[in-house]
Amino acid sequence: GESVGLHLPTLSVQEGDNSIINCAYSNSASDYFIWYKQESGKGPQFIIDIRSNMDKRQGQRVTVLLNKTVKHLSLQIAATQPGDSAVYFCAEKASWGKLQFGAGTQVVVTP
């Protein structure tokens, strides 16, 4: 759905721990999903994507899980580092549709 609200949810995680960021998507027709990272003053940066014919995809230190039954997406970051501090957005897309962003989660990595 549309991004709403002025305050981003915040996830505070200790350096070295694993992070899990959750996202609920709205369109049951969406078949392609992307996670983006946005650092202060920069544009969104692609992290990892997943298509609806998969339920899990792994990258370097990141894993995306897709549960189509409950329309839920998650991003797991292993061994979180200070450089992982950013806002994370999930985005969904139906085949011929627009790429729609969620509201975002602020991740703060503490030493």
**Residues lying near another protein in the complex (CB under 8 A):** 2-3, 5-8, 31-32, 34, 42-46, 49, 51, 89, 91, 93, 95-104
* Min dist. Cβ of residue 22 to another protein (A): 15
Given the complex with another protein, which of 8 and 78 has the nearer CB atom? 8
* Min dist. Cβ of residue 107 to another protein (A): 14
Sign of CA dihedral 86, 48, 9, 42: positive
Given the complex with another protein, which of 84 and 92 has the nearer CB atom? 92
* Min dist. Cβ of residue 101 to another protein (A): 4
| Residue of 77, 80, 68 whose CA lies nearest to 48 | 77
Other Cβ atoms less than 10 A from the Cβ of 66: the count is 19
Contact 46, 36 (CB under 8 A): yes
